[in-house]
Chains A and B, each alone.
Chain A
């Protein structure tokens, strides 16, 4: 039995804290830095070993290529094009997605008429229609925006439908008994109370819009960092290519951070956010 007494408390403490054995904040940070340094060291060693030839630049070469890129106007205009395409595509997607989602969520006939088509299109990524978009618009901004819409609008619509179906029926019948019309109750009751669902959809769609923009540039030649990577790769400027991928990583992390912060900020008033206290 003494053995059991010795084991049990540690197991108990562990389960309360959620992690097997949680580290202090400082240790966590220190290990994180150590891990990053280790990975960079491995990269440097792999590059120095020469096994990959010119295919793998060293960390220093990549960093100096990055510094060089940051000094060129072309880089910033491609970065701007990437963000612009993603933002325009996301804005159009959200309008299409929310309008369609509210209609389909509120009117069963609209929902059943479109169910088969949306269910079929849901698992099909925008890259599938990329050849068609390139054929119609060529390597342009419109093509990339179209693909972002293909990639994001349906996901936003599906979340919106879920949000609309989640609306409190008592609120709706209250509105009806006060003689509030259909259009006004859509605007005043259905839309606000489905906003958390829409917010979640937007938080996921924002990084996704960047991903689709990069795909459109890389495979379809539309302006932006995706195209820059393609050009760097075909010109054999390997260090530049790695630097651009690093930029995309930073951009992706930033997009995730900004969109979750924006979600909390804009929806703090909603009960589902107040309850969790965040």
Chain B
């Protein structure tokens, strides 16, 4: 059993290293226009992002991502709470929400371009609108599935409405809200890139697409690598925060399973 575990860990570590080494060696001296040597990509990565375009392109992109995501989460939780606790509001808005949710988030960008132009507000607004829905829908689901017993306790102790929202509904729907936020983050990331690729000259997405259009494949690969890293790292960061915030939930689930 133990040797098997060691083998599986060793394989898990060695295979990615072998793949990277193979990419490096096989692409060395490559003349294929689509797959430049990995060495060149790494060199361009350093030249472009560390730190030539860092302040002018990387930071604005990341700033849009986080500002848009933050506003989307606040709006999503607030609207979700309102819809889940006010039945009339829910009945009125749910058909509209269902329809808007069917629209691919990226398809909203051209509309926002015609409404507010190509500026930075357009990019943040696109991220906010698109990323709001997952958080909002999971907030609604989360509050709906609050245990009836908990609601009763809140009612019996005559918690005020605000107390009930903040002390009963919010904590017990938090796990679902947080998983909705994770989807929102992924949507925000996609829309961040898309909003830069559609008629903008600034940002990582714009630079990557521009490099492709001018056939600078090493630059394009450097952009893809950076975007991939950002996607991966933001997700890891979110996981870390999530495990921290929801540690009580994870351990209570574990207790439940053990019982």
Say what secondary structure dominates the interface of chain B: helix
**B220 x A131 contact (CB < 8 A):** yes
CB-defined contacts of B106 to chain A, threshold 8 Å: 127, 211, 214-215, 218-219, 226
Please provide the chain B residues from 64 to 108 with a CB less than 8 Å away from any CB of chain A in the complex. 85-88, 90-96, 98-108
Residue A190 at the chain B interface, CB threshold 8 Å: no
**Contact A125–B190 (Cβ < 8 Å):** yes
Known: A132-B34, A229-B107. Contact between A36 and B95, CB under 8 A?
yes
Per-residue B-contact encoding for A229-240, CB less than 8 Å = 1, 0 else:
110110000100
Whether B151 lies near A11 (C-beta < 8 A) is: yes
Give bound CA distance, A128 to B224, whole Å: 6
CB distance B212 to A132 under 8 Å? yes
User: How many Å lie between the Cα of A123 and that of B217 in the bound state?
Assistant: 23
A31 to chain B, nearest CB (A): 4
Residues of chain A within 8 A of B107, CB atoms compared: 214, 218, 226, 229, 244-245, 248
Interface residues of A in 89-145 (CB under 8 A from B): 108-109, 111-117, 120, 122-125, 127-132, 134-136
Q: Are A112 and B11 in contact (CB under 8 A)?
A: yes
Give A134 to B224 CA distance when docked, in angstroms. 13
Would B87 and A219 count as touching, CB distance under 8 A? no
Q: How many B residues are at the interface, by size bracket? A: 35 or more
Flag B105-119 by CB within 8 Å of A: 1 or 0 each.
111111101110000
Evaluate whether A233 and B217 lie within 8 angstroms (CB atoms) in the complex, with A131-B212, A215-B104 already known.
Answer: no
Q: B221 contacts the other chain (Cβ, under 8 Å)? A: yes
A residues at B contact (CB < 8 Å):
4, 7-8, 11-12, 14-16, 18-23, 27-28, 31-36, 38-39, 52, 55-56, 108-109, 111-117, 120, 122-125, 127-132, 134-136, 207, 210-211, 214-215, 218-219, 226, 229-230, 232-233, 238, 241-242, 244-245, 248-256
Judging by beta carbons under 8 Å apart, are B8 and A112 in contact?
Answer: yes
Q: Contacts A117-B15, A123-B232, A211-B104 known; A238 to B114 CB distance under 8 Å?
A: yes
A127 to B8, CA, bound (A): 32
Give bound CA distance, A257 to B223, whole Å.
37
Partner of B194, one of A34, A127, A242, A253: A127
Taking a contact as CB atoms closer than 8 A, the residue among B34, B96, B113, B211 that contacts A35 in the complex is: B96
Closest partner residue, chain A, to B92 (CB atom):
A35
Query: Residue A245 contacts which of B4, B96, B103, B189 (CB distance < 8 angstroms)?
Result: B103
> B: which residues have CB within 8 A of A?
4, 7-9, 11-13, 15-16, 19, 34, 85-88, 90-96, 98-111, 113-115, 144, 148-149, 151-152, 155-156, 158, 186, 189-190, 193-194, 197-198, 208-209, 211-212, 215, 217, 220-221, 223-224, 227-228, 231-232, 234-235
CB neighbours (8 Å) of A19 from chain B are 87, 90, 144
Given contacts A125-B231, A215-B106, A252-B102, 7 further A-B contacts (CB under 8 A): A11-B151, A111-B8, A113-B11, A116-B15, A241-B111, A245-B107, A252-B101
Q: Chain B contacts of A39 at CB under 8 A?
A: 96
**Could you tell me if A128 and B96 are in contact, using CB atoms closer than 8 angstroms?**
no
Residue pair B155, A11 in contact (C-beta under 8 Å): yes
Given known contacts A117-B16, A128-B227, A230-B110, A211 and B96 CB-to-CB distance under 8 angstroms: no
Contact B102 A18 (CB under 8 A): no
Question: Which of B99, B115, B208 sits near A52, CB closer than 8 Å?
Answer: B115
Known: A18-B144, A253-B102. A23 touches B208 (CB 8 A): no
Could you name 7 residue pairs across A and B whose Cβ atoms are closer than 8 Å?
A4-B158, A14-B151, A19-B87, A35-B96, A135-B34, A135-B215, A218-B109
Q: Is the CB of B104 within 8 A of A136?
A: no
A127–B212 CB distance below 8 A: no
Residues in A with CB closer than 8 Å to B4 are 108
Q: Are B87 and A233 in contact (CB under 8 A)?
A: no
Closest A-B pairs by Cβ, 5 of them: A252-B102, A35-B92, A11-B155, A31-B91, A123-B235
- In the complex, what residue of chain B is closest to A132 when comparing beta carbons? B224
Chain B contacts for A35, CB-based, 8 A:
91-96
On whether the beta carbons of B34 and A125 are closer than 8 Å, the reply is: no
Taking CB atoms, residues of chain A closer than 8 Å to B13 are: 116
A90–chain B nearest beta-carbon distance, Å: 15
In angstroms, Cα B224 to Cα A125, docked, is 11
Q: How far is the CB of B9 from chain A (nearest CB, A)?
A: 7
Residues of B within 8 A of A21 (CB): 87
- Assembled-state Cα–Cα distance A203/B34 (Å): 34
For residue A133, which residue of chain B has the nearest CB? Answer: B212
Which residue of A is nearest B228, CB measured? A124
- The answer to whether B231 touches A249, judged by C-beta atoms less than 8 angstroms apart, is no
Chain B residues whose CB sits within 8 angstroms of the CB of A214 once the complex forms: 104, 106-107
Question: For residue B113, which residues in chain A have a CB less than 8 angstroms away from its CB?
Answer: 233
